[in-house]
Amino acid sequence: MPHQMAWLIFLLPLISFVIIAFFVRPFVKAESRVAGYITITAIGGSLVLSIWALFAVMAAPHHEIPVPDITWVVIEDGVTIHLGLIMDSLTAVMLIVVTVVSLMVQIYSQGYMHGDPGYHRYYAWMSLFTASMIGLVIADNLLFMFVFWEMVGLCSYLLIGFWFHKPSAADAAKKAFIVTRLGD
């Protein structure tokens, strides 16, 4: 499995978020299901690549695929921060779990959210949530694991408080935010 394909597992839901948030939501009617189709396609693609990654990892020596890091920040004294990912058997299995569950939620949400004025916003947040979970699974260092953990917490807050006009949803979102802040 080429390492670029491993990056695509994470990038597809992230690209889906960007497309929905910046191109679909402002320009497409609220009753359109375009956002759902984009998200389902992206996460379905991530699932296919995750299955491919599992087979590639199982066929690789030591059940691990080396993926080159990308230098993210270089500090004067030779300290560098790398952005990379791990692709081993545990990661490959967890990628399949995350993408299957996320895909099932997205498919179910097509009918449940149809006609809701926040339909596109919901799918944008769900795409970012899925990308964050995938990033958490594949992160190869604690810095990026922490970043993705915080992104998962932010997306949880946004999704719990999705119907923010209802006091119960707003209160539940605040409670979840406080619990995750104290728990972290």
In a domain, 181, yes or no: no
Total-model pTM: 0.88
The separation between the first and the last C-alpha atoms of the chain, rounded to the nearest angstrom, is: 35
In a domain, 30, yes or no: yes
* Separation between Cα atoms, residue 65 and residue 3, nearest integer Å: 8
**What does pLDDT average to over the chain?**
86
pLDDT tens figures, 69-127: 777 788 877 788 888 888 889 999 999 999 999 999 999 988 888 878 888 888 999 99
In a domain, 111, yes or no: yes
Q: What percent of the chain has pLDDT over 90?
A: 41
In a domain, 170, yes or no: no
pLDDT: which is higher, 114 or 144: 144
* Separation between Cα atoms, residue 135 and residue 147, nearest integer Å: 9
Residue 3: per-residue pLDDT: 65
In a domain, 80, yes or no: yes
In a domain, 167, yes or no: no
In a domain, 123, yes or no: yes
Write out the residue range of the structural domain in which residue 138 sits: 3-145
pLDDT tens figures, 27-50: 777 667 888 899 999 999 999 999
Per-residue pLDDT at 153 exceeds 60: yes
Domain count, the chain: 1
* Separation between Cα atoms, residue 29 and residue 118, nearest integer Å: 11
In a domain, 8, yes or no: yes
Tokens of 56: 């590639």
